[in-house]
Amino acid sequence: VEINLEDQFQARIDADISIEPKDWMPDAYRKTLIRQISQHAHSELVGMLPEGNWITRAPSLKRKSILLSKVQDEAGHGLYLYSAAETLGASRDQMLADLHSGKAKYSSIFNYPTLSWADMGCVGWLVDGAAILNQVPLCRTSYGPYARAMVRVCKEESFHQRQGFEIMQTLCEGAPEQKAMAQEALNRWWWPTLMMFGPKDADSPNTAQSMNWRIKRFTNDELRQKFVDMMVPQAEFLGLTVPDPAVKWNEARQAYDFGEVNWEEFWNVVKGNGMCNQDRLGARVKAHEEGAWVREAALAHAKKRAERAET
Ligand code: ACO
C-alpha cells in the first residue's frame, strides 16, 4: 500500500494534532512557518525601537521602569520566536542577516514615529491590542513550538495592553491639553494599526493555504473586524473619537462598519519606504555591529571552557 505522506500530514492537521520538529512536513509548510515566525521575531526586535525612544523621557520613575521592562519583554519574545524558527532548521545568523539586509519583512507598524508621550499609550493600547488579537489564536497554531511560544507571549502582551490603556485613561482624565494629546495620538495610530492585520483576504497570497494548514486560525479581514469591534467602544469609554467617519454600528451584522484602509500607504511601508524604515533598520544594524565584541567574547569563553574540559 502506498502511503501518501502529504495526506497523512493533512489528516493530522485536520484532527488538530500538533506538528512537532521531527515530524515529516511538506517543504512548503516548513517554508511558510519559517517566513511567518522569523518575520514575527523581527517585529518583536524592531518593535523595541519606537518605545525605546521614550524610556529616557517617561514622565515619572514609575512610568520609566514599566516602559523599560515592557521593552525588555519584547526582546524576550523575539528570542522565543527565533528559537521556534530554529527548530525548523533556520539559522539565527541567516535570519538576522536577512533582516539587516532589508530582505526580510517585519511589521509595518514599527515604521511610524513615536512623537508624544501619548504614543506610548497608543502603542500599548492599540498596537499591543492588535498583536494580542492576532496572537491568541496562534496559541492553537498547528506547529507545536510556535504555539507554545505564543502562550507566554500573550500573557505578557496582555499586561502591555493594560498599561497602554491605563496611560490613555490617565491622559483622558487629565487636563484638556492631555486629553488633546491622547486624541492626536489616536488620530495618527488608528489606521496604521488596522494595517497590522495585513492585506485584505482577497489580496492576501498566503491566507488560504495557511488557513488550510491551520497556521492561521482567522483570516486578516476577520481579525481586523474583531479589532474594530473591540476598540470602538473602548475609545468611546475614554471619550475619544476614532478618526474614521465611516465607523457605524451595523445592527444586521452585529459589527461595526468601517472605512477603507489606505492600501497604497500600506504597501509603500511594507516595501521599505515608510517614514522610519531606514532609521529602524539602521538602528538594528548598528546595535548588531556594536554587539560583535560580546559574541566574540562568548565564543572565546566557550572555547576556553571546552579546552579546559578536555585536559
Ligand atoms: N507588515 C509588513 N508586512 C506585512 C504585513 C504587515 N502589517 N501584513 C502582511 N505583510 C506581508 C506578509 O508578510 C506577506 O509577505 P511575504 O509573502 O513576502 O512574506 C505579504 O505581506 C502578504 O500578506 P499575507 O498573504 O496576508 O501574509 P500572511 O499570511 O503571512 O499574513 C500576518 C500576515 C497576518 C502578519 C501573519 O504573518 C501573522 O499573523 N504573523 C504573526 C504575527 C506577527 O508577525 N505580528 C507582528 C506584529 S505584532 C508584534 O510583534 C508586537
H-state helical runs in 48-206: 48-52, 61-86, 92-100, 118-122, 128-135, 144-172, 176-195
How far, rounded to the nearest angstrom, does the alpha carbon of residue 307 sit from its chain's CA centroid?
41
Rounded distance from Cα 121 to ligand 1 centre (Å):
23
ipTM over 0.95: yes
Separation between Cα atoms, residue 73 and residue 67, nearest integer Å:
10
Return the C-alpha cell found at 121. 499609550
Kindly report which listed range (1-10, 64-73, 103-112, 215-224) carries the lowest average pLDDT score. 1-10
Ligand 1: residue whose CA is nearest its atom 27: 206
**Cβ 122 vs Cβ 160: under 8 Å:** no
Contacts 24+ apart (CB under 8 A), 51-55: 51/114, 51/120, 51/123, 53/114, 54/114, 54/117, 54/119, 54/120
Rounded distance from Cα 58 to ligand 1 centre (Å):
31
What would the 3-class secondary structure string for 52-70 be? HCCHHHCCCHHHHHHHHHH
Separation between Cα atoms, residue 311 and residue 237, nearest integer Å:
69
Q: Which amino acid is at 83?
A: S
Over the stretch 249-284, which tens digit does the pLDDT of each residue have? Answer: 999 999 999 999 999 999 999 999 999 999 999 999
- Residue 3 pLDDT class (50, 70, 90 cuts): confident
Phi-psi group of 268: left, alpha or beta (phi > 0 → left; psi -120 to 50 → alpha; rest → beta): alpha
256 bridge partner residues = 249
**Does ligand 1 have an atom closer than 6 angstroms to the CB of 205?**
yes
Residues 6+ apart with CB under 8 A from 163: 66, 70, 124
Over the stretch 123-178, which tens digit does the pLDDT of each residue have? Answer: 999 999 999 999 999 999 999 999 999 999 999 999 999 999 999 999 999 999 99
The pTM for the full model equals 0.96
How many helices (DSSP H) and strands (DSSP E) are in the chain?
14, 2
Top mutation candidate among 42, 105, 158, 267 for ligand 1, by most atoms within 8 Å of CB: 105
Nearest-atom number in ligand 1 for the CA of 223 is: 34
Tell me what pLDDT residue 304 has.
Answer: 96
Q: Which of 108, 111, 129 is nearest to 235 (CA)?
A: 129
Q: Which of 102, 2, 123, 103 is nearest to 52 (CA)?
A: 123
Average pLDDT over residues 67-96: 97
How close are the terminal C-alpha atoms of the chain, in Å? 55
Over the stretch 28-60, which tens digit does the pLDDT of each residue have? Answer: 999 999 999 999 999 999 999 999 999 999 999
Residues 6+ apart with CB under 8 A from 283: 49
Report the share of the chain in percent with pLDDT over 70: 99
**Does ligand 1 have an atom closer than 6 angstroms to the CB of 220?**
yes
Rounded distance from Cα 109 to ligand 1 centre (Å):
11
